[in-house]
Amino acid sequence: MIYRPYGSTGKQVSVIGFGGMRFGKDDDYAAEVVRYANARGINYFDTAPFYCDDRSEGIFGKAFKNMPGDFFVSTKSLIRKEKTAMEVRGRIELSLERMGVEKINFFHMWCIMDMEQYRQIMAPGGPYEGAMKAKEEGLVDHVVFSTHCTGEDIRTIIEDDVFEGVLLGYNVINHPFRQEGVQAALERNVGVVTMNPLGGGLIPRYRDHFSFIRQDEEETTVQAALRFNASQPGITVVLSGMGSIEEVDENVEAVSRPLVISDAKRQEIESRLTEKLDTLCTNCQYCREKKCPSNIKMNHFMEAYNMLLLMGDEQEVLQQLDYYRQNGDLKADDAMPGECIACGVCEALCTQKLPIIQRLDEVQKIINRQA
């Protein structure tokens, strides 16, 4: 395993981090997977309240009772739920209790979507104040943030010098969108953890389409995507959700070779990554957090639209919608994309800043052409 300094914190962390958002139903097996990952050299473990039906922190708590090696734990406070310093304090105490640890090594102000939310966090008596107080008292080592902002906004936050690290969505598909933030972190010696290295499952789902990112026949498309992140200057840790021993092995194997991407491969990736690929929906489902006034399941329509971007064929969009109908995700009486009233609620929540309203309109036109 390769270890890297996490910014200027003095901590050496494994280049592959364990994301605790993909555990199955069996908590005992999940805890075994955590311990196995630690035995294989992973020492950065990331969780959050609400992951896996709110079981994730408890699973780590089970595993931490009997870990084979040293480790660091990262968890979070959700800005939209804990709005005051007192509420953040309550969240920290609950996380410590659930995980059975004396301190949280990396505590995230979770999911800053835009600069307005950043200002709310930093307001007097707000979440940041609560986190810093906990740090003074030794309950937290480092206060960091996670974000879906643009690279430029991430630069602004980093240059305020209030956080010691950042967790951001970054992968081979969308990396130009946040590159500026990674660069700012590199300049300021701030740790960077990347989440979503597999594009919300898009890369494994369309592994044939993305096979061009592989450097040779020996690596899988998933491994190539992890290696892409791990080889970027400025990136400290690549988080990967792991639900099984096999996934731990595949992830550890991905970084067992030198983390170098040849210039030729890098150029090929850049040339294949059209502006369109950079704007794929990752099915993160944040857009559904607040209710759509028209009850549209917009994430399914956005995923269907992905097919147009990936395959350039309207028939693929229709086939994807058929697939949702067959497996029950879309029902006959569900709202159609044309029922969108363009209120903008979902676009404000979209982690990829996608033009959802315009795409819904295009999907409806594709459906109409078929009729």
**Chain residues in the site for ligand SF4 (CB under 6 A):** 281-287, 292-294, 296, 298-299, 302, 340-346, 349-352, 354, 356-357, 360
**Shortest Å distance, C-beta 224 to ligand SF4:** 22
Cβ closer to ligand SF4: 95 or 282?
282
**Shortest Å distance, C-beta 363 to ligand SF4:** 11
**Shortest Å distance, C-beta 121 to ligand SF4:** 21
Contact 337, 346 (CB under 8 A): no
Cβ closer to ligand SF4: 106 or 305?
305
Q: How many CB atoms lie within 10 A of CB 245?
A: 14
Cβ closer to ligand SF4: 6 or 51?
51
**Shortest Å distance, C-beta 253 to ligand SF4:** 29
**Shortest Å distance, C-beta 150 to ligand SF4:** 14
Cβ closer to ligand SF4: 80 or 257?
80
What contacts 173, CB < 8 A, 6 or more positions away? 199, 202, 203, 273, 277, 278, 280
Cβ closer to ligand SF4: 73 or 321?
321
Contact 203, 177 (CB under 8 A): no
C-alpha 14/C-alpha 371 separation (Å) is 53
**Shortest Å distance, C-beta 310 to ligand SF4:** 14
C-alpha 89/C-alpha 96 separation (Å) is 11
Q: How many CB atoms lie within 10 A of CB 97?
A: 12
Contact 161, 123 (CB under 8 A): no
**Shortest Å distance, C-beta 346 to ligand SF4:** 3
Strand partners, 348: none
C-alpha 211/C-alpha 257 separation (Å) is 19
Q: Within its chain, how far is the Cα of 204 from the centroid?
A: 15
Cβ closer to ligand SF4: 2 or 343?
343
Cβ closer to ligand SF4: 14 or 279?
279
Virtual torsion, Cα 25, 28, 31, 32, nearest 10 deg? -110
